[in-house]
Amino acid sequence: MTTQAKQDYQQLYQQAANAPETFWQQQAAKLNWYKAPQQILQQQDAAHYQWFSDGVLNTAYLALDSQVEQGRAEQTALIYDSPVTNSQQRFSYRELRDEVARFAGVLKALGVQKGDRVVIYMPMIPQAAIAMLAVARLGAVHSVVFGGFSAHELALRIDDAKPKVVLSASCGIEISKVIAYKPLLDDAINKAAHKPAHCVIYQRPQLKAELQAGRDLDWQQALLKAEPAACVPVKATDPLYVLYTSGTTGKPKGVVRDNGGHAVALHYSMQAVYNTKPGDVFWAASDVGWVVGHSYIVYAPLIAGCTTVLYEGKPVFTPDASAFWRVCAEHKVNILFAAPTAFRAIRKEDPEAALQQYDLSALRTIFMAGERLDPATYQWVVDKLQKPVIDHWWQTETGWPIAANPAGIALLPAKPGSSTVPVPGFNVQILDEAGQQVKANEQGYIALKLPLPPGCLTTIWGNDARFVDGYLATFPGYYASGDGGYIDDDGYLFVMGRTDDVINVAGHRLSTGEMEQIVASHPAIAECCVIGIPEPIKGQQPMALVLIKNGVEVDETILEAELVAMVREEIGALACFKKALIVKRLPKTRSGKILRKLLRQIADGSQYSVPSTIDDPASLPEIAQLMQARGLLSGS
Ligand code: COA
Ligand code: AMP
């Protein structure tokens, strides 16, 4: 690090670490509260903390009305860019505020009140963001479900969140195909035990949905009769949203985000991490179904007075690999945030990056997250764009970056493979199995010392025990991130991958445990194990190793096709589950635990040592051979 940059960063880092209440009170003071908080941090018990507990605010007010009041009425708040429908639309802050207030009126007329849940299952159209903000305006709680999830996954979330209303659209548009959402929604409601009172459906011209009389409303029709609804003040500790994410079991976890901590943390991150100022154009090329979409498509850019880009398309094939450069040039994007997968896909289609016709002079910095940024992809983007590329690490649970090169504080020298340094407010430690801190450069479990800064999850919806057991019990006094890695002599963090059964496919977080449950339910299968194996574009892909029941005859190709169909039906196409291998035995410890880590190491070609507790060492070369024969070993 240069001495000055290092000093600037360390000074702020120490301030946040030594006097967190003063530090965060100063950040909170930058927002327009109805009642500014005096109680900054309160510890309730060993596991639970509250930020800003006596503060009163409304997040949608901060994102829209307050911006209008500060003179941004005519500034563009949101740019919708949709190559898949060949259309674009711009909303000024005034227009977006008015649209949101009217849609909040639709929800209010349906009885949605403070604290009620509203599930949002929508493609990347402006109405998705409008829906989220309208729910927030009423002090209600949204739960957005990514459009690529199946009816079964949607049903699980409906049953857990118990929404009064579900918001959806007639269809989504993927690369050259229209996906009907409404039949999936109907199927999900049939499967769910909880029945929402109403569904509001946005009819897209590409496909009209059939509406169920009494339950379903036509979005556009409902708006015609709606009265704008006012912002409802909520406590800082009231929930803003529940976002489900994959854990190690089949049941997704509903991460709960509060209003106050979230707004303060996101506002801070826009300055400290992303180095934005009001009026900047911020493009997070993600989906509102993921945390990146919640934080950096919808809330943070608006709370910071920026212009956000909502992109309905892919990095490639909509129509080609120059889509990112086209959007950046056309909308004068200042900050681009995307997953490494997107750049790997662009690089594959257009290794030279045909940038000549695009004016990227407005683009200042490229941020990447969602999965490990491999040094080759990092170098390619740096070479082609000649701009700072920042790898930053975060999770659905934290809602904003834990480690980053804090561009708004000081741009530190980058080290490929590292997400740089902890962001002020986060105390990152590397622990061994026993919870002891390890030395610099030694790998271990990445843990965050409590209390977590504002904006991080406060609990798991309806299951606080899962919050405590899943995150806080492993290392008392710490939040266990589920990631492994190390900190080097310069204090740089290297996140190497998950230490649990979560995998990352094209920047999408998936549970191998959930896939195992589905695969194991096939009548021919006695036992199975699903692991993530390397995939050149998507980073990882799932693969099942299956043991067939004694006496059952199956054809591997037919079985694989059946399992692929089952996972697609139960989880959705986004699981990218395409590989199943029949094996004679699975490597286990003598106590019967499948050695998944060993299998992952075999698949990715890394060095491994055979543990003395292994029951059947001969299973290892056997599996390696089978994988080799199918071309599934890294480098094979
Ligand atoms: N609605 C419905 N279906 C969806 C969907 C959505 N919102 N998103 C993905 N799917 C489907 C796709 O159509 C595809 O179906 P198929 O198997 O029938 O072809 C499947 O899910 C897998 O999709 P995806 O992983 O997106 O693969 P792809 O081959 O269509 O595209 C990439 C590959 C790399 C271009 C794409 O994965 C990508 O853009 N990745 C970046 C991801 C990202 O931004 N993550 C955000 C985290 S920060
Ligand atoms: P999600 O909750 O979907 O955002 O996924 C979070 C997980 O993605 C983390 O626990 C990491 O495993 C992985 N991840 C996100 N960002 C990075 C990064 N910059 N480097 C390495 N892994 C990352």
**Beta partners for residue 42, in sequence order:** 50
pLDDT of residue 229: 98
Same domain, 526 and 582: yes
Question: How far away, in angstroms, is 533 Cα from ligand 2 center?
Answer: 16
pLDDT tens digit sequence for 286-343: 999 999 999 999 999 999 999 999 999 999 999 999 999 999 999 999 999 999 999 9
Query: What is the three-state SS of 206-271?
Result: CECCCCCCCCEEEHHHHHHCCCCCCCCCEECCCEEEEEEECCCCCCCEEEEEECHHHHHHHHHHHH
Question: What DSSP letter does each residue of 131-178 carry, written as one string?
Answer: HHHHHHHTT-EEEE--TTS-HHHHHHHHHHH--SEEEEESEEEETTEE
Query: Does residue 345 form part of some domain?
Result: no
pLDDT of residue 636: 57
Query: Does residue 552 form part of some domain?
Result: yes
Reported confidence tier of residue 613, pLDDT bands at 50, 70, 90 = confident
Full domain range(s) for residue 291: 3-313+392-486
Find out whether the beta carbon of 124 lies less than 6 Å from any atom of ligand 1: no
Find out whether the beta carbon of 257 lies less than 6 Å from any atom of ligand 2: no
d(CA 636, CA 628) in angstroms, rounded, equals: 6
**Predicted TM-score (pTM) of this structure:** 0.96
Number of domains in the chain: 2
CATH at residue 408:
3.40.50.12780
Which residues are within 8 A (CB) of 616 and not within 5 positions of it... i.e. 6 or more apart? 585, 587, 588
Same domain, 481 and 571: no
Query: Does residue 437 form part of some domain?
Result: yes
Per-residue buried b or exposed e for 432-459, using 16+ beta carbons within 10 Å of the residue's own CB: eeebeeeeeeeebbbbbebbbbbbbbbb
Phi-psi region of 482 (alpha: psi -120 to 50; beta: other; left: phi over 0): left
Residues in the chain: 636
Res. 566: pLDDT tops 80: yes
d(CA 426, CA 282) in angstroms, rounded, equals: 24
245 CA: nearest ligand 2 atom: 2
Same domain, 106 and 158: yes
Query: Does residue 148 form part of some domain?
Result: yes
Terminal-residue alpha carbon distance, the chain: 39
Tokens 């009548």 found at: 523
**What's the mean pLDDT in 16-34?**
98
> How do strand 403-404 and strand 421-422 relate by DSSP bridges?
antiparallel
Find out whether the beta carbon of 495 lies less than 6 Å from any atom of ligand 2: yes
Same domain, 213 and 97: yes
Question: How far away, in angstroms, is 28 Cα from ligand 1 center?
Answer: 37
| Burial class of 149 by CB neighbour count within 10 A (0 to 12, 13 to 18, 19+) | buried
Count Cβ atoms below 10 Å from residue 17 Cβ, excluding itself. 16
pLDDT of residue 2: 64
Reported confidence tier of residue 250, pLDDT bands at 50, 70, 90 = confident
d(CA 229, CA 236) in angstroms, rounded, equals: 21
Question: How far away, in angstroms, is 572 Cα from ligand 1 center?
Answer: 11
